[in-house]
Amino acid sequence: MKEQLLTKKILKWYDFNKRPLPWRKNVSLQKRQYYTLVSEFMLQQTQVVTVIPYFNKFIKNIPDLKSLSLAQNKRLIKLWEGLGYYSRVRNLKKTAQVIIKKFKGKLPCNLEELLSLPGIGNYTASAILAIAFNKQYIPLDGNIERVLKRYLYLKKDKEIAKDNLIQKKSIFGLSSRSGDYAQALMELGALICKPTNPECKKCPISMNCKSFQKKDFNLTKKVKKNKEKYFILKVYKKNQRYLLIKNTKFNFLKNLTIFPMEELSKPKNFNENLNFKMSNMNMNIKIQYLKNSSKFQSPFWIDQKKINNYMLPTFTKKVVKYLEKS
Given a cut of 50, the residues of the chain with pLDDT beneath it are: 1
What b-and-e string marks burial along 134-148, b requiring 16 or more CB atoms within 10 Å of the CB? bbebbbbbebbbbbb
d(CA 83, CA 115): 23
d(CA 204, CA 200): 8
Task: Tell me if 129 sits within 8 A of 137, measured CB to CB.
Answer: yes
**Architecture of domain 5-214 in CATH?**
Orthogonal Bundle (1.10)
d(CA 98, CA 116): 10
The reported pLDDT for the residue numbered 101 is 96
Domain ranges in the chain are: 5-214, 227-325
Residue 302 backbone phi and psi in degrees, to 5: -125, 140
pTM given for the model: 0.76
241-244-245 Cα angle (round to 5): 155
- 204 Cα distance to chain centroid: 28
d(CA 99, CA 106): 6
The reported pLDDT for the residue numbered 294 is 80
**Architecture of domain 227-325 in CATH?**
Alpha-Beta Complex (3.90)
The reported pLDDT for the residue numbered 304 is 82
Q: How many CB atoms lie within 10 A of CB 89?
A: 24
Catalytic site residue from 3, 40, 81, 272: 40
* Secondary structure of residue 230 in the 3-state scheme: strand
Active site residue 40: yes
End-to-end alpha carbon distance in the chain: 66
The reported pLDDT for the residue numbered 145 is 96
User: Contacts for 309-314 with beta carbons within 8 Å, 24 or more apart?
Assistant: 310/257, 311/74, 311/77, 311/78, 311/81, 311/257, 312/244, 312/256, 312/257, 313/81, 313/84, 313/86, 313/253, 313/256, 313/257, 313/258, 314/81, 314/82, 314/84
Residue 300 backbone phi and psi in degrees, to 5: -120, 125
d(CA 62, CA 309): 22
The reported pLDDT for the residue numbered 270 is 81
The reported pLDDT for the residue numbered 3 is 58
Beta bridge partners of 300: 244
Task: Tell me if 206 sits within 8 A of 212, measured CB to CB.
Answer: yes
Task: Summarize the chain as % helix, strand, coil (round to 5).
Answer: 50, 15, 40
